[in-house]
Chain A
Amino acid sequence: MSWWTPQLAAILWGMFQALVILLGAVLLGAALTVVERRLLGLWQDRYGPNRVGPFGTLQLVADMIKIFFKEDWVPPFADRPLFVLAPIIAFASLLLSFVIIPITPGWGVADMHIGLLFFLAMAGINVYAVLLGGWASGNKYALLGAMRASAQTLSYEVFMGLSLMGVVAMAGSFNLRDIVNAQEGFWYIIPQFFGFATFLIAGIAVTHRHPFDQPEAEQELADGYHVEYSGMKFGLFFIGEYVGMVLVSALIVTLFFGGWHGPWLPPILWFALKTGFFLMLFILLRASLPRPRYDRVMSFGWKVCLPLTLINLLATGAVMLLVAS
């Protein structure tokens, strides 16, 4: 056993962790599609999918079989390379962001010191999925959806980055593990409440979740940018949205709610509970809120959220300087 060195063991353990986190994120995203429909049913006084298996739990399997065996059709008027590329970007960019999230003191994929910037970069790349998918479809509804999506995502990414800078300034690091460690016993939700509120809004907008789903509004755009997609290509867009939801929930927990910190329970359970709470919040928002008009969404982003994050950052800096002096 001369080849079995501690170094190799560490590498294998790291790979195992990465694999478990990857599969966990994807499976959670897939399972959420069914959980969301059941919960929407509950909150809107109807049944939801409850036929397949006990309480509809096997609906996920049925959906998977259906989506895998559907014809994977590329329209003849579509721009083939970009049409194929777009769902890959949609899925991969959000999934890659999971590498920066520390789940427990021992678990997490990468420990980069630019952590948070990596997430912002991946969110920036994610815009292209919608943009290229909408354009390559050669369909005017898809193009309109892509237009709305890119304008909305650009506007909301501006203050998404700014809303996190208060946290970064307080923790003194972009590294998420440092940020979680700095929150021991004192969660950043208290001093950074406005940062949390604006990040939550921006997170919903960037993942195109209701009530910021104008890019894919069924009533106006017949599903927007992914109207021409079918089979597993549509599946990647669809699961990608839920993966994005899991990602934003996990980030909110890590940045504002102390990550794995909490009394009595083991760290992994605290992380799962907090993330689950925010996932439920996402679904509840969809179940209860109407969709605002598109120009209202844009002016809300630029005229309310952006100034709020700037003032928040200014106030955070001033208070930190006052405390330090």
Chain B
Amino acid sequence: MELAFYLSGLVAVLATVGVITGTSPVHAVVYLIVSLIAVALVFFALGAPFAGALEIIVYAGAIMVLFVFVVMMLNLRPDAEYDQILSHPRYWAGPTLLVLVLLGALVALVSQGGLEKVIDGELLTARSVALTLFGPWLIVVELAAILLLAALVTASHVGRRSNPLRKLRSPPNAPSSPDRGGNS
């Protein structure tokens, strides 16, 4: 279990480095998918297969598909010029400093928390996850559900075929301009 944990952790880190250093956008997104699957394997190794499976279904299987979809449509090609601009220290010095501070905080926290804990692969079943979610954390689940419902209602309102907001913005009897599109 410990070996699986460290191996998949290593894959996750390497794949994430690949996301950052890659020049082709689609390859970067594919590296991100690999990274997410590796994180799911970390969950499996820690004895939480339910969380691991949900990670693959939701993140790798649904959200990243939309990312790939959009990147595919944009027809982006590796851009050497942009890469050169970004390699200038002015652009990466600040973020690197901030990330180093975060890394220091993380290392301090981990070393403080004691290293005697080992990965024993204790199994957490879907039933226990459900009982925790719908027991002590019921309010949080309901709040998340209301948030998602609000997002759903908003999305279906914005994406409506005859959008009243569009009519308000443009003066009546104006010739339809191409940038307003048809019914999207």
Which A residues are closer than 8 A to B by beta carbons? Answer: 79, 81-82, 85, 112-114, 117-118, 120-121, 123-125, 127-128, 131-132, 135, 143, 146-147, 150-151, 154, 157, 161, 174
Contacts and interface: CB of A to CB of B under 8 A. Distances in A.
Given A79-B26, A82-B26, A128 B53 contact: no
Contacts, number: 74
Given A131-B68, A146-B72, A114 B50 contact: yes
A121 B53 contact: yes
Given A79-B26, A127-B61, A150 B53 contact: no
B50 A117 contact: yes
A165 B40 CA distance: 22
Contact of A113 (B54, B62, B125): B125
B15 interface: no
B72 A143 contact: yes
B56 interface: yes
A131 B54 CA distance: 21
B54 A117 contact: yes
B40 to A, nearest CB: 8
A175 B61 CA distance: 21
23 contacts: A79-B24, A81-B27, A82-B27, A82-B30, A117-B126, A120-B53, A120-B57, A120-B61, A124-B57, A124-B60, A124-B61, A124-B62, A125-B56, A127-B61, A127-B65, A128-B33, A131-B68, A131-B72, A135-B68, A147-B72, A151-B69, A154-B66, A174-B126
Contact of B56 (A81, A124, A161): A124
Contacts of A85: 30
B56 to A, nearest CB: 4
A131 B61 contact: no
Interface string B31-58: 0010001001000000001100110110
